[in-house]
């Protein structure tokens, strides 16, 4: 299993939202580039970055910062948040991202995801499936996507997607344990590689996930607050 540290960016700062709520934000007094370098020096090979300005407003906000992070040798970066067009995805990939994460647009315009796979290749494309009570949430988790997570997963795999990033919104930012069963079920039912996100509270959670077949695990708040230390198994 791959451990993927996460940085959420809002107005150039490292933050965490609780359950995706912009009114429940914790700001961490950390330089994002320095923190990314810290994770790499500790062994991390991947970094998960969410542009929260982009998720909320639909614009690529942190491009220059991402370019700096992508210059860190040996660190592959996946970026999500507000990627709702091939043009925006292309900007992030040109800035040095290894993989772009489509969210809202996957539920609204699934054919565009197929076009992204054709243009960029499956290894550079992931789809974020963010669920509340099994149903997909879109537009920064503020709206119902009109489809279940499993249905969206099957549709995306049929269109060539190989990597799904599954977030259980109820666990996100709460450090009460990840929704491992739901992530494993999505992986088994779709045949995709599932990256599980949300809820990790400590190293015990990370090691428990590592004993399963889950492809990768994103760890955000627990690392920032030193409740977890593992960035590479």
- The 10 Å CB-count burial string (b at 16+, else e) for 94-103 is ebbbbbbbbb
Rounded to whole angstroms, how far apart are CA atoms 81 and 66?
13
Pick the catalytic residue: 130, 155, 168, 172?
130
Pick the catalytic residue: 8, 51, 168, 172?
8
Give the Cα-Cα-Cα angle 76, 40, 165 (nearest 5 degrees): 45
Rounded to whole angstroms, how far apart are CA atoms 140 and 88?
17
Q: Catalytic: 8?
A: yes
Q: Catalytic: 23?
A: no
Contacts 24+ apart (CB under 8 A), 90-97: 90/120, 91/60, 91/63, 92/60, 92/63, 92/66, 93/120, 93/124, 95/63, 95/66, 95/67, 95/70, 96/66, 96/67, 96/69, 96/70, 96/71, 97/66, 97/70
Q: Please name the residues in contact with 113: beta carbons below 8 A apart, sequence gap of 6 or more.
A: 102, 105, 106, 125, 127, 156, 159, 160, 161
Which amino acids are annotated catalytic? 8, 130
């Amino acid at each position: 299993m791959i451990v993927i540290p996460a940085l959420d960016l809002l107005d150039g700062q490292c933050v965490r939202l609780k359950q995706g709520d912009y009114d429940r934000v914790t700001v961490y007094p950390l330089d994002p580039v320095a923190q990314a370098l810290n994770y790499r020096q500790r062994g991390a090979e991947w970094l998960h970055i969410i542009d929260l300005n982009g998720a909320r407003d639909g614009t690529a906000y942190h491009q220059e910062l991402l370019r700096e992070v992508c210059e860190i040798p040996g660190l592959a970066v996946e970026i999500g948040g507000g990627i709702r067009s091939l043009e925006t995805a292309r900007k992030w990939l040109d800035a040095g991202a290894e993989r772009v994460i489509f969210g809202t647009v996957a539920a609204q315009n699934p054919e565009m995801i197929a076009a992204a796979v054709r243009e960029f290749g499956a290894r550079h494309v992931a789809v974020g499936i963010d669920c509340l009570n099994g149903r997909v949430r879109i537009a920064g988790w503020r709206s119902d996507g009109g489809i279940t997570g499993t249905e969206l997963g099957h549709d995306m795999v049929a269109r060539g997607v190989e990597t799904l990033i599954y977030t259980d919104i109820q666990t996100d930012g709460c450090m009460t344990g990840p929704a491992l069963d739901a992530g494993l079920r999505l992986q088994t039912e779709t045949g995709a590689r599932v990256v599980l996100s949300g809820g990790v509270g400590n190293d015990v959670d990370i090691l428990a996930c590592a004993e399963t077949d889950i492809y990768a695990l994103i760890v955000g708040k627990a690392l920032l607050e030193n409740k977890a230390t593992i960035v590479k198994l």
